[in-house]
Structure 1
Amino acid sequence: MINQSTFNQYFESILISYSGQAVWGLTLALILWYFFNLYQRKHLKLWSFSWIAFASYIFLSLLTLFIAQSEVAGSFWQNIFTFLFQIAGLMQVVWLLQGANHLIHKKSLSLKQEYIQYTLVVIIALLSSLFFMFEHDGGYIYSLVIPFTIKSLIVGAAFIYAGIQIMRIGRRDTAVGKKLLWIAFLLYGFENLNFALGGIYMIFDDSFILEIDNTLGVIDFLLLSFIGIGMIIWLLEEERSALEKTNRELDSFLYSTSHDLRAPVASLLGLINIAKHDIKDESGQKYVKMMEERVKKLDQIFGDILNYSRNIKTEIHLKTFRLGEIVEDVITDVKFNQGADSIRLDYDEHIHHILRTDYYQLKVVLGNLISNAVKYHDSKKPDQFIAIRFEKVDRNVHISVEDNGIGIAPESQHKVFDMFYRATSEAEGSGLGLFIVQQALEKINARITLVSELGKGSIFKVIIENAGVKLDD
């Protein structure tokens, strides 16, 4: 039989650890409520309520034990708080299961089903609290042990059931949060069943006393921590997965739409070219030329979007090559651009200009930089040039593209790599070029710096990590 001395020792041993569990429960409730407001997922709200109920259960349980320990408070108040902590403990189970059901089946229970659950909670809590009437003087079996045993039995069964249900939908899933959650649910459920089994032994064997100390409190706290962390990680992994799916769908839409729209634009350019030969008067030629410029600009925008979508889907393939190979390819692509014939290319290839990275991604980068240098050249300057420099620093490779074009205003320099940003309203292009450069560099573990002065020109330096190659490699 549990005597007063044993009871007092038990109460003092669990007071601090179980108070910590209550604080952790409230913390998890606030975190889940924050994510509910952010993502509007009903299971997050229900799980937040569940953790509030858990914290309330801990506080009310400790208060019930304190009243049972006190000589001043009577059995009436002990009965009231026993009823309240049972309500809180059972509501934790109800909201936990409701949240798991909504998460798995993507639907809520009907009002009738919820009312039935709430009614059962009240009935079980009321019956549990009435066991004190059978208590012997100085005893604690009926007034405390049986209510705690009933609660532990229900909580254990509920957590095991919820863990099995989550395991069934996540057994082939690589998500860490989902696995952590169902494992923690099962362990916490079995731990509560162990408490319930100890309570049953105490009910039928007066000589048996369940040993509960700070060690079990620490284990409880760790399992509760794993449950909370698993809930949060699972949520973040689901949101990341949904975001990745949305991005893939958006990229696919951009690619297919731009590809489909380029065909009629190409046909329109062909018709404009025919019209240029058929229309003889100057006024008509002027309008046809304006139409051609606008349609070509539209075609360039579609081309940039296609390049962006294609670049995202392209896998990285490392190879060793000369920088001169890419420079030759890029010059071949841009040499017929307007104004390119008046610009001098300053690049002297040397035998050590060798690097190892993704050829296609670097070509995208240099192609955009050199194309922009041609596009924004300063025709008023007598010696227009584009200088390309190669430098190896340790294992890194530095490639700079310098021009003496119109330059970039200081207030625009930190924005030029943003999507669709154009430094001036007169700027040609879609505003995607340097954004694509930034994306390509991220894929090959590289970065870019910019030094520019309005009216004097710009220097873009590309720094590629671990791309240097020794001549004897």
Structure 2
Amino acid sequence: MDSKHQDTNNTELIANNEELENYFRNTVIPQLFVDGNLILRKFTPPAMKQFQLSSGDLGKHISELTVQIRFPTIIQNILEVIETNKDMEKEIQTMDHSWYQMNILPYVIRKSNQTNGVIITFVDITSRIETLNQYEKLNLEYQNIIFALSHDLKGPIHNIKGLIGLLKEVKENDKEETNSLLDSMGKSIGKLLKTIEDLTESTKKKTGFAETSERVNIQNIVEDVLVGLGDKISRSKAKIHTEFQVSELKFSRKNIRSIVYNLLGNAIKFSEKIGQPEVWIKTQNLGTYILLTVKDNGPGIDKGKQKAIFNPHTRLDQEVEGTGLGLFIVKRMVEDLGGKVEVESVFGEGSIFRVYFKQETIHQKLN
């Protein structure tokens, strides 16, 4: 090769390097230039700030970088782009849990039309991913509302239906019993309207992504639910025992009412199949959690079926009315706010449901 041709190549190389250097110096996007041997040759100032790169990282193999940019398939992805000469785009999460849209572009030497490395561009999409996750969570919340509407309204409606049946059997001159039944119907209708109001009002508040947790009195909610289940309790002659070591907790009022209603309703419904239902309700302060325990003397649940009861539309006893959604709703509502639900049961010996409500505040105890 003559000296004139060599000088021309050197001039073009210098021009290319200066052009690349100028571009990297002025861009506001985190970018890296990795050569064909997977050596980091250049990076933009935003990349230095974003990924804690330093001048000491230049000349290192990409696998030797100990900064937050590392993720499992980066080497494989770079080699694929170099080999195929095709762009690659993917979403990645870095070591600091940030999300990026990563574009790996082949760096092609114009004269030889050969790929001699890649330019890697990172666009921060953390906020977009978080928004998508929040929308997904919001969608689940609306599903909870729909499930609760379809499930929780049936109890008060059946209660009213039963009272109407009793009212028809009352003698015409028995005004005292008539007034008593009408009073019970009025209370049931009031509870029904309150349930509808609680469930539908929450949709108006879902303009943001914050949960609608509030400080609620668990004892009042249990008493309210017992009134709503009055027809079942009266018919089955159920005995209800309560022990409130904790009176207040922070949770969504509509959700906790639905949870308590489902657990107590199930305890009575299944226990009355084998005799007189007896249910024990207890709250305890465990620090991080407030524990609600509902124990019954029902038929119990076979160990092999205990996980299945939390699946939607699961009904272990087809003779007992229900949709199979109650415990599914309970589990979802509790877990959506960081809690958990456990069941302990021996077939033929009753069941214990433990609901752990995750808390962030100090709770008042009853005297």
TM-score band, normalised by the shorter chain?
A: 0.5 to 0.7
The alpha carbon displacement at 1:308 in A equals: 11
The alpha carbon displacement at 1:146 in A equals: 3.5
Q: How does 1:44-55 map to 2 (within 5 A)?
A: none
Query: Do the aligned partners of 2:246 and 2:366 also contact (CA within 8 Å) in 1?
Result: no
Letter paired with 1:325: N
Are 1:334 and 2:229 matched, yes or no? yes
Query: Do the aligned partners of 1:395 and 1:468 also contact (CA within 8 Å) in 2?
Result: no
Letter paired with 1:217: G
Letter paired with 1:448: V
Question: CA separation of 1:457/1:256 partners in 2, compared to 1, >3 Å: closer, same or farther?
Answer: closer
Q: Which residue of 264, 267, 280 maps to 1:370?
A: 264
1:397 counterpart residue number: 290
Are 1:414 and 2:310 matched, yes or no? no
The alpha carbon displacement at 1:401 in A equals: 0.4
Question: CA separation of 1:366/1:231 partners in 2, compared to 1, >3 Å: closer, same or farther?
Answer: closer
Q: How many corresponding residue pairs?
A: 260
* Larger fraction in strand: 2
Query: Do the aligned partners of 2:279 and 2:294 also contact (CA within 8 Å) in 1?
Result: yes
Cα distance in 2 between the residues matched to 1:254 and 1:397: 22
Q: Which residue of 58, 65, 76 maps to 1:216?
A: 58
Query: Do the aligned partners of 2:274 and 2:299 also contact (CA within 8 Å) in 1?
Result: no
Cα distance in 1 between the residues matched to 2:142 and 2:287: 40
Q: How does 1:77-116 map to 2 (within 5 A)?
A: none
Q: Deviations over 1:115-168 (max 9, x none)?
A: xxxxxxxxxxxxxxxxx76256xxxx544x43433443554577689x66xxxx
Q: How does 1:90-239 map to 2 (within 5 A)?
A: 134-135=4-5, 142-143=8-9, 145-153=10-18, 155=20, 182-184=29-31, 216-218=58-60, 225=69, 232=92, 233-235=99-101, 237=126, 238=128
Query: Do the aligned partners of 2:262 and 2:326 also contact (CA within 8 Å) in 1?
Result: yes
Question: CA separation of 1:464/1:419 partners in 2, compared to 1, >3 Å: closer, same or farther?
Answer: same
Percent of pairs with identical residues: 18
Question: CA separation of 1:385/1:253 partners in 2, compared to 1, >3 Å: closer, same or farther?
Answer: closer
Letter paired with 1:336: D
The alpha carbon displacement at 1:386 in A equals: 1.0
2:324 counterpart residue number: 431
2:344 is paired with a residue of what secondary structure? strand
Q: Which residue of 358, 363, 367 maps to 1:469?
A: 363
TM-score (norm 1): 0.42
The alpha carbon displacement at 1:231 in A equals: 5.2
Q: Deviations over 1:77-124 (max 9, x none)?
A: xxxxxxxxxxxxxxxxxxxxxxxxxxxxxxxxxxxxxxxxxxxxxxxx
> Aligned-residue CA RMSD in angstroms?
5.2
Query: Do the aligned partners of 1:320 and 1:356 also contact (CA within 8 Å) in 2?
Result: yes
Q: How does 1:188-337 map to 2 (within 5 A)?
A: 216-218=58-60, 225=69, 232=92, 233-235=99-101, 237=126, 238=128, 241-242=131-132, 244-245=134-135, 248=138, 313=206, 315-319=211-215, 321=217, 323-337=218-232
Letter paired with 1:315: E
Cα distance in 2 between the residues matched to 1:463 and 1:253: 22
Q: Which runs of 5+ in 1 are unaligned?
A: 1-74, 76-131, 165-181, 195-212, 278-302
Question: CA separation of 1:192/1:257 partners in 2, compared to 1, >3 Å: closer, same or farther?
Answer: closer
Cα distance in 2 between the residues matched to 1:454 and 1:463: 23
1:347 counterpart residue number: 242
1:54 counterpart residue number: none
Letter paired with 1:183: P
Question: CA separation of 1:392/1:426 partners in 2, compared to 1, >3 Å: closer, same or farther?
Answer: same
TM-score (norm 2): 0.52
Q: Which runs of 5+ in 2 are unaligned?
A: 34-40, 46-54, 75-88, 93-98, 102-124, 169-194
2:267 is paired with a residue of what secondary structure? helix
1:406 is paired with a residue of what secondary structure? coil
Query: Do the aligned partners of 2:340 and 2:357 also contact (CA within 8 Å) in 1?
Result: yes
